[in-house]
Chains A and B, each alone.
Chain A
């Protein structure tokens, strides 16, 4: 029942923002001081060149420091029952050593967050997300025999992503890593400590995430970068990651939606259906938090939905409002994330569209403001609904991955 957080002896004001356990290891690679705070940690928007960092993941191997990710360990006799009530997916069907992507809702059927559930053992789970929510986890666990502990500071994690990621891990000595299927995890060891490896990621490419006790962070990092040296391994920052996740069609909390725990305005919370995440909601698994409201919501047609769109031009439609006509007379949606995709050579975006526009049968236009040589220009481009993910290479699913 009790949440634990490793403490820091120095007064907070002397150290308001923490460094991750890997910071000392990679600090020599930081070339342009593009720091960015994430969840109380110093992270990097880019290390040297965000374009090259992006291509590392699509071409060789890019490594992203995942430590600030919020992690909760949930264990106990009722762990499965509790998790199954907490999240929308069927946890009973989930085998140990598997990972699943899911959302969890409040009783109104509004999304608290999306994230991943790791089933470490039959009665042990780990929930990974971006926002802290220990209060909700504890409150919703009343009556269940579970222990919930925040382990964010205790566990260090790296995402190792890209076509050559498997080769590098094999070279590090993680034999058998190649048989991990997508969303499967395995336990390995390195220099005498445990390394949990999951075939997961936020890039839409072949990739793995490595999880260790924070104290071994430097050792793992050194071993990884030594093994990857000749393969073009490099650290990547959040700018590159954002490009990758948009291509993969993955949503981001506080960008595509806000947690219903944080919305102040009454109509800002979103259901999983509005986020286009019907596929993670198992309405047949029995009761879960928010089910009743979602059953009711299903009876009505969806007013708005998050979809992928293509914009017929080459300038990113960041923050664009979407209209029913070229004259922009009626707003029918808005862009949440936009990207000129260097791999697809397409101008893609995630956008909310009102009914019936999200079905993709009607034409629509994006109003884009471009800042060109210190002057704003307004442009209107036609756009089309297009399936997500925008980019899903075969290697993402191939097991074992190609040996390059």
Chain B
């Protein structure tokens, strides 16, 4: 393969790699995507593991994906259909051993009345909480599709961008500015305690702020992660989440088809082992099968650790190597996908409740969530983990046979390194069984409906998708690893110390989640360097 054939090579067919590929191809470049696995998608896949059931193997819910990308790349034309889900259930175990549940409703007044059953004050405070989160989202949202400024640079562009940031910040007004500073430094537990009194409601909301992060609900800096749940939208409904029909793999396949339709090429089973660099310039890469691919322009969708590990350290400034090695991954999440023979019942959820169509949670309090984190620190999976459970087949008829269901169970916390020793098949099974036990404690007929499960420990996530240490976001989303610090200060604008080598994965701004923003931003920077415009 020669340089003449392709103008740019993208490493990794994760959704961000594919987004970048689409934009570059549409801008007139000839683009090749090299993917290590035999399937595309990275952490955005739907691969069948059992009979006629399809799982969203890693990511499972859609909201963050930037609408402008979906529109420009015409994803609807290539089969992407997103259906918002309604509902949500927080199951509550009362002190006397009986059960209840707090449902989430799309209808504001129904939702309020439901919370009022537990705390009239919280029903009201919840509205203020939502308003304050929306206010924060308004600040941060426009930044997602912009390249972060370099605060030390004197380039007009960086200065303009810093001014833009400053203007947005000051535009919030004094009170809100102070609130914002608090918000970004507080723990989610403390933040919610300022609004709410009911344990169930607090734990329902707090769990999400620890997802993918090796921090506890009382760790400073976790409050802002709430935004990750609120800054997305579906068709303008802010904070709404939904299912991609057919599973999250349809996001990847729509991107893939859009890319192919515009003339791009994808090669699977083509893992990159080494970048070829000469005189500080990228020249191509060596594949795992020994083959060499020449390229002057390479965009890596791998996480920052993998990207830099594939470069000879000789070619890199020592501080960069050091910084990259200090970039925190710390996998903390697991995933279990379960095929079910029918819809399981849950304690405390009335028959016929529509609330099972949303996220189901069983954590009882902030304290319980903090204890779950303690287990992670000790190198154990949580005794009582935060589980984010969804039954997509209640809404999407394509994922399980008629009358049957599958359940997606996201598990926080599960360590990448166990205190007991290396992950092996036995420990992996024990982890899976533990999760089924945790669910069964709240669902009496769960075991009897159980057919099959796909267990993914952080180690499996790393091995299968290449997410280092199994961190779902290609690196933790903490303040010190965001914006102009993501992935490392000085290289937060999608470029690297190697000329011609760019980064477009979730390790770059604005970070993880099925958002597409890193890919689109990276493509824009590449085209900028080439003196070309980007398709809007």
Contacts and interface: CB of A to CB of B under 8 A. Distances in A.
A20 to B, nearest CB: 13
B113 A8 contact: yes
A358 B408 CA distance: 59
A387 interface: no
Interface in B338-365: 350, 352-355
A32 interface: no
A258 B3 CA distance: 61
Contacts of A331: none
Interface string A348-389: 000000000000000000000000000000000000000000
A16 B171 contact: no
A395 to B, nearest CB: 37
A5 to B, nearest CB: 5
A132 B124 contact: yes
Contact of B124 (A7, A13, A40, A135): A135
B131 A261 contact: yes
A11 B102 CA distance: 10
A17 B353 contact: no
B97 interface: no
A222 interface: no
A150 B120 contact: yes
A287 to B, nearest CB: 20
Interface string B210-248: 000000000000000000000000000000000000000
B171 A266 contact: yes
Contact of A134 (B105, B124, B176): B124
A183 B355 CA distance: 46
Interface in A1-26: 3-5, 7-8, 11-14, 16-17
A341 interface: no
A264 B131 contact: yes
Contacts of B128: 135, 261
B175 A37 contact: no
Contact of A262 (B103, B112, B127): B127
Contact of A12 (B103, B124, B175): B103
Given A12-B114, A266-B176, A134 B120 contact: yes
Interface in B115-147: 116-117, 120-121, 123-125, 127-128, 131, 134-135, 138
B107 interface: yes
Nearest to A3: B120
Contact of A17 (B110, B117, B123, B127): B110
B120 A12 contact: no
Given A40-B113, A264-B134, A264-B135, A16 B124 contact: no
Contact of A132 (B103, B112, B114): B112
> Which of the listed residues A11, A136, A262 has the most CB atoms from chain B within 10 Å of its own CB?
A11
B121 A16 contact: no
Nearest to B129: A135
A12 B138 contact: no
A106 B173 CA distance: 15
Given A261-B131, A264-B134, A108 B113 contact: no
B109 interface: yes
A109 to B, nearest CB: 12
A135 B126 CA distance: 10
A42 to B, nearest CB: 11
Interface residues of A, number: 28
Given A7-B117, A135-B121, A138-B121, A13 B131 contact: no
B172 interface: yes
A39 interface: yes
Contacts of B121: 3, 134-135, 138
Given A13-B352, A13-B354, A135-B121, A262 B109 contact: no
A133 interface: yes
A165 to B, nearest CB: 31
Contacts of B172: 266
B166 to A, nearest CB: 15
18 contacts: A3-B120, A3-B121, A7-B117, A8-B113, A11-B350, A12-B105, A12-B113, A13-B350, A13-B352, A40-B109, A40-B113, A133-B124, A134-B124, A135-B124, A136-B124, A263-B131, A266-B171, A266-B172
B163 to A, nearest CB: 19
Contacts of A138: 121
A13 B135 contact: no
Contacts of A264: 131, 134-135, 138
Contacts of A262: 127, 131
A74 to B, nearest CB: 15
Binding site of A, secondary structure by majority: helix, strand, loop or mixed? loop
Contacts of B134: 264
Interface string A133-145: 1111010000000
A17 B175 contact: no
Contacts of A132: 112, 123-124, 127
Contacts of A37: 109
B91 to A, nearest CB: 14
Nearest to A1: B121
Contacts of A263: 131
> Which of the listed residues A7, A13, A40, A261 has the most CB atoms from chain B within 10 Å of its own CB?
A13
A263 B134 CA distance: 10
A11 B350 CA distance: 7
A142 to B, nearest CB: 13
Nearest to A263: B131
A4 to B, nearest CB: 7
Contacts of B105: 12-13, 16
Report the 6 A-B pairs with minimum CB-CB distance, sorted nearest first: A40-B109, A16-B110, A3-B120, A135-B124, A11-B350, A135-B125
Contacts of B127: 132, 261-262
A153 to B, nearest CB: 10
B324 to A, nearest CB: 39
Contacts of B120: 3-5, 134, 150
B110 A12 contact: yes
A1 to B, nearest CB: 10
B124 to A, nearest CB: 4
Interface in A328-351: none
Given A5-B120, A262-B127, A264-B131, A11 B112 contact: no
B58 to A, nearest CB: 31
Interface in B303-323: none
A342 B175 CA distance: 46
Contacts of B103: 11-13
> Which of the listed residues A4, A40, A150 has the most CB atoms from chain B within 10 Å of its own CB?
A40
Contacts of A134: 120-121, 124
Interface in B165-212: 171-173, 175-176
Interface in A29-53: 37, 39-40
A134 B116 CA distance: 11
A36 to B, nearest CB: 13
Interface string B149-176: 0000000000000000000000111011
Interface in B238-269: none
A13 B110 contact: yes
Interface in A84-143: 108, 132-136, 138
A4 B120 CA distance: 7
A136 B125 CA distance: 8
Nearest to A37: B109
B338 to A, nearest CB: 25
B450 to A, nearest CB: 27
A13 B353 contact: yes
Contacts of A108: 175
Contacts of A4: 120
Nearest to A16: B110
B117 A266 contact: no
A266 B172 CA distance: 6
A108 B175 CA distance: 9
A261 B171 CA distance: 18
Interface in B476-499: none
Contacts of B107: 16-17
A3 B134 CA distance: 27
